[in-house]
Structure 1
Amino acid sequence: MKSLGEKLKDYRKSKGLILRKAAALLDIDQSLISKFEKNERKPTEEQIQRMADFYKIPLNELMIDWLSEKLAENLAPYDVSSQVFQFAEEKMNFYKTQANGK
């Protein structure tokens, strides 16, 4: 399984762009993009949206990668992480039901 950073690097390379050129076209600092691709830093939601549009990737696809990586990194140190995911899913379904019932 590839990390978000590895995928971002693959997307850039598939466009035949060097880091400097991608940074200029995305209007994101070159050092930031480099850190994203090396998994040293996470993009913001706005940057994810910009990259999805620029690389012609469905936003949902990139958002799922971004959000799931954030969750996994936050929960990895805990022994109960699998149970947290299951409970969170139940809560999301509850909140959706509540929102639809209003």
Structure 2
Amino acid sequence: MFTSVRTDEDDDGYRRTAERLSELVKEIPGFLGEDSARTPGGLAISVAYFRDLAGIDAWRRDARHRAAKEYGREHWYERYSIHIARVERSHDHARS
């Protein structure tokens, strides 16, 4: 789970990088899916789901992901938090 608040700097490739990372993470063994949302006030939450900790660790070690995180710390994020959690149960509802 990645929660963040962006800086006021120009986009400077942020959207392109986010889209590219969204494609790259799909190559990680054990990746199950992702959800994301952004509030009008600027808080963003992205959740990537993995089968196990090995998948999370592979994503953490991915060189392209690491480079994007480093650039993001310097340019795009005022602050962010990363939380690793286990989903014990999940329910869905979709209106027809």
Do both proteins adopt the same fold according to a TM-score greater than 0.5, normalized to the shorter chain?
Answer: no
Bigger Rg, structure 1 or 2: 1
Counting helix residues as a fraction of each chain, which structure ranks higher?
1
TM-score, normalised to structure 2, is: 0.31
Query: Which one scores higher on RCO, CA 8 angstroms, separation ≥ 6?
Result: 2
TM-score, normalised to structure 1, is: 0.30
